[in-house]
Chains A and B, each alone.
Chain A
Amino acid sequence: MHEPIIELHDLTKQYGKFSAVDRINLTVRKGEIFGILGPNGAGKSTTILMMLGLTDPTSGDVKVCGIDSTRNPIQVREKVGYLPEDVGFYDDMTGIENLLYTARLNRIDEKKAQAKARELLERVGLPLDTKKKAGKYSRGMRQRLGLADVLIKNPEVIILDEPTSGIDPAGVQEFMDLIRQLRDENGLTVLFSSHHLDQVQQICDRVGLFGGGKLLAEVNIEELQSEEHGLENMYNRYFGGGKSHE
């Protein structure tokens, strides 16, 4: 439960002179649901991209499952499922075909993949409608399909970048329950980025507060439970204003 899965060490990403991510040190442990909370432009997505080797850090290093993401991104991507913000699918393929394609890219046996894809579709609450093309999916349906897509490779870690955007309130609740279930049953480590205070507060064990590319604070949600509006107060202290949404 306590071995570190994601380790960031002085991680920095600069675009020209501008630091999108500024010397972040962070450790996420196995089996944890870790939330990255921050307003727009805080550097959440950039940090996540570096964890997957989708962009190179300017300095510092990042390890996932003990593997350096910059040097060996492929080994990292074998173990990590990543749901990008505003995920897209191949429009002319059905949901299940999209899942199977991902499974093939992960060298998963075709038969197993078939069964697993069906199971996952049901689990994320998509109809097993085999005719509907992904191009006809609504935003929220795409997001759900995205979660199934992340899970089909049996990852050890899942990294979700604003996964709940576009999902209706009841759907968000199901989504959160599902994430928690996955952690409890399969021991998945979950990294969850969001700018919704309440969602983060609801399912995360720990939260990193991001702002202006810096990690402003690391909070243990349980410790905050005693205070009413604990996280909210904290968020407001850093970012001002009374809004917790957007």
Chain B
Amino acid sequence: MNKIQSPFWVIVRKEVADHVRSWRFIILIAIIALTCMGSLYTALTNIGAAIKPNDPDGSFLFLKLFTASDGTLPSFVIFISFLGPLLGIGLGFDAINSEQNKGTLSRVLSQPIHRDYLINAKFVGALIVIGVMLLTLALLVMGFGLIAIGIPPTAEEFSRIICFIGVSIVYVAFWLNLSIFFSIKFKQAATSALACIAVWLFFSVFYNMIVNLVGKAISPSAMASTYQIISYQKFMLNLLRFAPSMLFNEATTTLLMPSVRSLGPLTMEQVHGAIPSPLPLGQSLMVVWPQLTGLIAATVICFALSYASFMRKEIRSR
């Protein structure tokens, strides 16, 4: 190899190598692989029951692998929405502060590289690892599914699953960026890990409770008009959408259940006359477009925050 690599890719390569060799990554991958295999198992044993005679998604047998469950173990999708943040946080929470504490940060940043190379490369490196891992996992699930049910996925199903993985990667990227931001802000890796977990818990547990409380307080009276009720429901839904996990769940549900036509409340007039039939992929993508943009925007905000706090930061050794 004679071509001289740009320093950016040099750092990315090192990051990827570091992640892949680290115990942390092996533990994370073990947790995620095990739970996903568990959910695949329950999906397979229940796939017969999952398909009801009138189910408009009935023809999408393969997608059921990702969404079906018998209630004992959550489905693949739920697992990803729950463990994805853990993966992102796990790979990012000590990105910058560990280098600072090891005394390597000032050495690396005194080389002729842009400062943002370092945070970007840390982000890209971890994202490559996460992307490859999620893709492998999805392919594995499909492979096992193929063996078990014996019907290959249609092109449509395959593209839907790939889109689903794409959305999952964006979702994990958000948590990754958030944790990189905290790793810049907090000098102790433990503090930044705690801060990330606090945000995660807030959105996955407390946020719904708070929104419910707000909902109770402002709920319209029984005499309210349809219009009022609908606008109330829309408002509540939009409140919930501030949680990244909500955006993710909406996006993945739409992608993996082609019969979902809208993510808001529908009036009788809108539903009237609509045949419960699956949407083509393009239409489903149109439905989740706002969710996807929301997730990407949240990621970009975290990135902007990291950038702003890192670019002018004083870099002392240790």
> Residues of A at under 8 Å CB distance from B?
45, 49, 52, 54-56, 74-75, 77-78, 80-82, 84-92, 101-102, 104-110, 146, 149, 153, 161
Q: With contacts A54-B110, A92-B21 known, is A101 near B315, CB below 8 A?
A: no
Q: Is B7 touching A107 in the complex (CB atoms < 8 A)? A: yes
Q: Which of A56, A106, A149 lies in contact with B112, CB distance below 8 A?
A: A106
Query: How many inter-chain residue pairs (CB < 8 Å) link A and B?
Result: 87
The winner among B7, B14, B102, B112 for most chain A CB atoms within 10 A is B112
Q: Is A75 touching B314 in the complex (CB atoms < 8 A)? A: no
CA distance A86 to B102 in the complex (A): 10
In the assembled complex, how far is the CB of residue A115 from the closest CB belonging to chain B, in whole angstroms? Answer: 16
In the assembled complex, how far is the CB of residue B308 from the closest CB belonging to chain A, in whole angstroms? Answer: 14
Q: With contacts A49-B316, A74-B114 known, is A107 near B4, CB below 8 A?
A: yes
CA distance A80 to B2 in the complex (A): 26
Chain A residue nearest to B113 (CB atoms) is A105
Q: With contacts A75-B112, A84-B110, A106-B112 known, is A54 near B102, CB below 8 A?
A: no
Q: With contacts A54-B109, A78-B112, A105-B7 known, is A89 near B318, CB below 8 A?
A: no
18 chain-A/chain-B pairs, Cβ below 8 angstroms: A54-B106, A55-B315, A55-B316, A77-B110, A77-B112, A82-B107, A86-B318, A87-B103, A87-B107, A88-B107, A88-B317, A90-B104, A92-B18, A101-B10, A105-B10, A106-B111, A108-B4, A110-B4
In the assembled complex, how far is the CB of residue B143 from the closest CB belonging to chain A, in whole angstroms? Answer: 34
Q: Is B316 touching A90 in the complex (CB atoms < 8 A)? A: no
Chain B residue nearest to A52 (CB atoms) is B110
CA distance A17 to B44 in the complex (A): 68
In the assembled complex, how far is the CB of residue B214 from the closest CB belonging to chain A, in whole angstroms? Answer: 41
Q: Is B103 touching A104 in the complex (CB atoms < 8 A)? A: no
Q: Is B312 touching A56 in the complex (CB atoms < 8 A)? A: yes
CA distance A74 to B311 in the complex (A): 13
Residues of B within 8 A of A91 (CB): 102
CA distance A103 to B103 in the complex (A): 18
In the assembled complex, how far is the CB of residue A18 from the closest CB belonging to chain B, in whole angstroms? Answer: 14
Q: Is A110 touching B1 in the complex (CB atoms < 8 A)? A: yes
Residues of B within 8 A of A45 (CB): 316-317
Chain B interface, >50% SS class: loop
Give the size category of B's interface with A: 20 to 34
Residues of B within 8 A of A82 (CB): 106-107, 110
Chain B window 105-122, contacts with chain A (Cβ cutoff 8 Å), 1 for yes, 0 for no: 011111111100000000
Residues of A within 8 A of B11 (CB): 105
CA distance A156 to B46 in the complex (A): 70
In the assembled complex, how far is the CB of residue A14 from the closest CB belonging to chain B, in whole angstroms? Answer: 12
Chain B window 144-157, contacts with chain A (Cβ cutoff 8 Å), 1 for yes, 0 for no: 00000000000000
* Other 10 A-B pairs with CB < 8 A, given A77-B112, A109-B2: A45-B316, A55-B314, A74-B112, A74-B113, A85-B317, A88-B104, A90-B104, A91-B102, A107-B6, A110-B4
B5 on interface, CB distance cutoff 8 Å: yes
Residues of B within 8 A of A110 (CB): 1, 4
CA distance A81 to B103 in the complex (A): 16
Residues of B within 8 A of A106 (CB): 7, 111-112
CA distance A91 to B103 in the complex (A): 11
Chain A residue nearest to B313 (CB atoms) is A55
Residues of B within 8 A of A109 (CB): 2, 4
Residues of A within 8 A of B315 (CB): 49, 54-55
Chain A residue nearest to B114 (CB atoms) is A74
Q: With contacts A49-B314, A54-B314, A92-B21 known, is A104 near B104, CB below 8 A?
A: no
Residues of A within 8 A of B109 (CB): 54
Residues of A within 8 A of B314 (CB): 49, 54-55
Q: Is B317 touching A87 in the complex (CB atoms < 8 A)? A: yes
**Top 6 nearest A-B pairs by Cβ distance?**
A88-B103, A84-B317, A55-B314, A82-B110, A78-B112, A105-B111
Chain B residue nearest to A75 (CB atoms) is B112
Within 8 A of A (CB), among B238-252: none
Chain B residue nearest to A82 (CB atoms) is B110
Q: Which of B21, B111, B318 lies in contact with A153, CB distance below 8 A?
A: B111
